[in-house]
Structure formats: structure tokens, C-alpha cells
Amino acid sequence: MKPIIRLENLTLGYERHPAIHHLSGQFARGSLTAVVGPNGAGKSTLLKGIKGLLRPLAGSIHLEGVTRGDLSFLPQQTELEQDFPISVWDAVLIGHWRRTHTGRAMGDTHRQQAKAALDAVGLGGFIHRIVSTLSGGQRQRMLFARILVEDAPVILLDEPFTAVDDRTVAVLLAMVQAWHSQGRTVIAVLHDLEQVRRHFPATLLLARHALAWGATASVLAPANWQQARAMSEAWDDHAPLCADVLPGNVPP
């Protein structure tokens, strides 16, 4: 398959302190890829770099046939403004800005699409609710509705199922699968390895470097996780590991 995102000797970081070193590889057009690894591995940093929120310290990111405006990005819930006084309806309508820009009025078609997106995530009756009154699961459903409205060919999800109830996870996973079946490229930072095995055919294992990248079954081999653990311990002997790489939760 042709690549839609290519990484060439990419180094990303903050204030000239690298978080990812010399990463090379590509995401195929229409692929569904999980990004996994220990805390501090650079997973969120990678998505921010692809979206253009971080400039490379070295190397490059190449987009093939798309622009950064064609990338829909959902950050971690902890990075979102929780108390901004906006309604669910207006928050979802913002998804149209990618194509209409802020200077153009929303028409009936835009409003119908927003209503359909809210119905699709089970929030059709929440139009007038203020975002700050939503539960974590409801807020995540709303954000997925906004992604539906954005209608982007590339979707970047940073821990989209964290602190979300099982019913909501099932709804959102079904949407991810639907995006994949439509030929969109989806890249998601995840921690639940069983979820990755069941739903994501490709996986990138990061530990500041790419330890493995390819078919999920191969990437989740125990030897790769042991190497990820060893590298994490080398960064900081006192840093906690994500649950997915703790002893007893290493892939069989």
C-alpha cells in the first residue's frame, strides 16, 4: 500500500530535549495502527509531531497527498479544556471549520451533519447541554462526533478510550472500525494490549526508538516488550511503567 505519512530519521522533543530519536518508517494509506509503549516512550509526542504541533528537532515528516488540515487530532482528555462555556451542539459544529473556515456561515447541510453525528454516538438529546456538565464518556462521544463532522482522511487519537466506560468504548471502537473500512488512515495511542490484538492489524512499539513496527502479532512478541521494559528502566529507575508492560501483563 502507498504511504500517506513518512517519517525520515525523525527526532522530536521539547526545548531541545529529544523524546523520540531517529524514527524512520511509514503509515500506509488506509491503515489502522496502534502506537504502544511504556510511559515516556514518545507516543503522544509522535502524534503531535505528525499533526504539526511540534517541529522536528531533526529529520522530517512527509505527508503524501494530504495536508496538515486533512489530519483530525484528538488529544488526551487531560489536555482538553474542561470548563469552557460551550454547548455540545457548538462544540460539534466546530468540526466543520476544517472545510468551511471560520468566516463562512453554517448552512442546513452542516447542521444536519452535526445532528447525524450526535445521533451516531448516542448524544442526540444532548444538543443544549454545556460541555462541562458531561461525564468523561459523554465528552469523548461528543469529540468523536466532532471527528465525524470533520470528515478527515487521517485521524490521530491519543488514548481515546482512557477513563471511559465499557459501553462507550464499544461504541467508539465500532466507529474506529468504520473509519478503517471507509479507507481512512487511523493512528491511535493505546495501552490495552488485548484491545490492540483484537482491533488493530498494525502496531508501532515505541521506546523513544521504534523497537518494532508491523503486524500486531509480531510486534507484541514477549521479547520486544522485555526490551521496552529494559529501556524504560534505563531512562529512570524510579519511573512507573504503563500497566501494559508491567510484569504479569507481558504478552504471552
- pLDDT at 11 (0 to 100): 96
Query: Residue 211 phi/psi, 5° resolution?
Result: -80, -30
Other C-beta atoms closer than 10 Å to the C-beta of 87 total: 14
Chunked into runs of 10 residues, the chain (252 residues) has average pLDDT values of 95 88 96 94 95 95 95 82 81 80 67 94 94 91 94 96 91 96 98 95 95 96 89 63 36 40
Calpha distance 206→220 (Å, rounded)? 12
Q: What does the alpha-carbon distance between residue 112 and residue 104 come to, in Å, rounded to a whole number?
A: 17
The per-residue pLDDT for 163 is 82
Question: Which cell numbers in the block locate residue 137?
Answer: 464518556
Q: What residues form DSSP beta bridges with 34?
A: 188, 203
Quick one: pLDDT at residue 162?
A: 86
Q: Strand 3-14 vs strand 58-63: parallel, antiparallel, or unpaired? A: antiparallel
Sign, Cα dihedral of 126, 180, 251, 75: negative
Reduced 3-state DSSP string for 50-93? HHCCCCCCEEEEEECCCCHHHEEEECCHHHCCCCCCCEHHHHHH
Q: How many CB atoms lie within 10 A of CB 242?
A: 18
- From residue 54, how far is each of 13, 16, 44, 91 by CA, in Å? 8, 11, 11, 25
CA dihedral 58, 158, 153, 137 (to 10 degrees): -170
Question: What domains, with CATH codes, occur in the chain?
Answer: 1-66+153-162+186-252 (3.40.50.300)
From 74, 43, 72, select the one nearest 196 (Cα to Cα): 43
Across-strand partners of 106? none
Q: Residue 128: is it exposed, middle or buried by C-beta count within 10 angstroms (0-12/13-18/19+)?
A: exposed
- Helix and strand element counts for the chain (H, E): 9, 9
Question: What does each C-alpha distance from 167 to 26, 33, 137, 141, 189 come to in angstroms?
Answer: 33, 22, 9, 11, 20
- pTM for this predicted structure: 0.89
